[in-house]
Amino acid sequence: MSEKVYIGRIGVASRRGGAGSGGDARGGAGVSMREGELNMISKGITTTLMAVGLAAGVSVTGVASASVSDINGFVDAPRLFNDFAGSNLTYNSNYSAGGSSVTLRENNYGSGNFANRHASWFSDGGGNKVDFDYGDGFDMSMTMRVNAADSVGNVEAGFQADLFGFGLFGVLTGTGEVAAFGSTMPFHSFGAGVYNVGDEISLRMVHRPGAGEFSGMNSTIEYFYNNLTTGSGWVSSGEIAFTSTEGGIPSAFDQFYGVGAQINQPDALNGNVSIDYYDILVPAPGAGALLGMGGLLALRRRR
């Protein structure tokens, strides 16, 4: 078991593009950049262009070299977006093979622009984010609760994705919607009004690889949610085909997944967000991937 805690304030501003709608957003507005820096990452090649110069082929800590079967921890990335740099943030991740957890508390935002975003990416426990490729079948699940979203425009919380911009499968507190969008994630909405702040909700994502990249027999992803507070039971999107050029997660690039949230337009004085994620599970391929619903329920630990 490993545990990491982040408490404090950072004064570095961030710049980002607009949100993508899923599928294949490369080259579009969904690409995220930090001030003065552009990171381009593909398998075996890392190039960092900075305002002070150019460096090529330099080893960078935290660049993915691990595979899905190596998942054994998190790489925490608080303040991916940091428009409210003076906020009071407490961020905690705790990895356990039997069910991991992440805790987010943020308030006293002060002056800022649009949003703060925080995430924990699945890693090998050694600081290397796990790279998900085309052939990596997986079955991710977790339970979460947005305890508070006071005086904010919207909180987008749930599973996070990072490739060609950020993606989400989770809840949007402003409308009560459960949806998936952005990055390479196929778009789906379960509709508005199915989640209320304070509800306990389980989320599940099942990725089934296709016949091969560019084969025309595309990979699919299936989204599930179960609002435990309202007693919705498990609701499925059905299998949704990828529409990316490769017909699935592109193996030539580094695709990261994790959990986290984006907090939009918090009030300077009264903005207050509290989120708990727990029972986070990613069964290893060949052992637990593509579990049936019965297997998922057997694995799930109640808080």
3-state secondary structure the chain: CEEEEEEECCCCCEEECCCCCCCCCCCCCCCEEECCEEEEEECCEEEEEECCEEEECCCCCCCCCECHHHCCEEEEEEEEEECCCCCEEEEEEEECCCCEEEEEEEECCCCCCCEEEEEEEEECCCCCEECCCCCCCEEEEEEEEEEEEECCCEEEEEEEEECCCEEEEEEECCCCEEEEEECCCCCEECCCCCCCCCCEEEEEEEEECCCCCCCCCCCEEEEEEEECCCCCCCEECCCEECCCCCCCCCCCECCEEEEEEEEECCCCCCCEEEEEEEEEECCCCCCCCCCCHHHHHHHCCCC
Instruction: Name the more confident of 118 and 53.
Output: 118
Query: Which pLDDT score, from 0 to 100, does residue 69 have?
Result: 86
* CATH number for 275: 2.60.120
In-domain check, residue 131: yes
In-domain check, residue 55: no
302: pLDDT strictly greater than 50: no
Cβ atoms 196, 149 nearer than 8 A: no
What is the band of 299 on the pLDDT scale with cuts at 50, 70, 90?
Answer: very low
66: pLDDT strictly greater than 50: yes
128: pLDDT strictly greater than 50: yes
Q: Cα–Cα distances in Å, from 33 out to 14, 39, 165, 229, 262? A: 7, 8, 9, 38, 16
In-domain check, residue 210: yes
pLDDT tens sequence across 16-61: 333 333 444 433 333 333 222 223 233 333 222 222 222 223 333 4
Domain limits for position 99: 2-41+65-299
Cβ atoms 242, 143 nearer than 8 A: no
Mean pLDDT (whole number) for 95-119 = 97
In-domain check, residue 57: no
Spell out the residues 6+ positions from residue 294 whose beta carbon is closer than 8 angstroms to its own. none
Range of weakest confidence among 66-75, 88-97, 252-261, 292-301: 292-301
In-domain check, residue 204: yes
Handedness of CA 58, 61, 67, 68 (dihedral sign): negative
Domain count, the chain: 1
In-domain check, residue 231: yes
In-domain check, residue 232: yes
In-domain check, residue 11: yes
Mean pLDDT (whole number) for 218-238 = 98
Residues in the chain: 303
